[in-house]
Amino acid sequence: MASSTKWQVIAIVCAAISMQGVMTSQELMTKLTGGFAKVMDTCKTELRVGDHIIQDFYNFWKEEYELVNKDFGCMIICMAGKLDLLSEDMKMHHGNAHAFAKAHGADDDVAKQIVSLLHGCENEPSSTEDPCMRAVEISKCFRTKIHELKWAPSMEVILGEIMTDVRT
């Protein structure tokens, strides 16, 4: 009986450690989202996009939300450009994306994993030549991959993070 209890304790500890990793990844994705959102207003003004775009960003991490808005893709391109995450050929700049992830709390391995996920999405075949719609496709792919890893943050937490950043 004591041996069985010992294995149960070990299983609970392992489960707790793995859940802690998930929470850490969700917190990281929250910080990355908040860091990305810091340039939203600038891009919204530059692109002359209406307030409707906020709805797409608000719902981004919701799997059931359908991303179809070309303006959303244009905003992603603008924001990534402002954060120096794109190379001259409009592809992800791996080194800068890695540094951005690390600056927002990722360790080296997680930053590499995030860059790898984005790179994989970027290399998937596309049904469009339009750069903004391509950015929508890449964003949807990335969102799916993050959900598969159970890393997607909740909107309530993201909004709290963004509101904290706005106040400071």
Position 15 scores a pLDDT of: 36
Domain residue ranges of the chain, discontinuous segments joined by +: 22-167
| pLDDT tens digit sequence for 84-95 | 999 988 899 999
- How long a stretch of residues is the chain? 168
Asked if residue 53 lies in contact with residue 45, where contact means CB atoms within 8 angstroms, the answer is no
Least confident of 4-8, 57-61, 121-125: 4-8
Position 6 scores a pLDDT of: 43
Q: What is the CA radius of gyration of the chain?
A: 18
Q: How far is CA 154 from CA 23, 27, 59, 60, 80, in A?
A: 11, 9, 10, 10, 22
More confident residue, 29 or 101: 101
CATH 3.30.1360.30 fits 22-167, yes or no: no
Please give the model's pTM, rounded to 2 decimal places.
Answer: 0.76
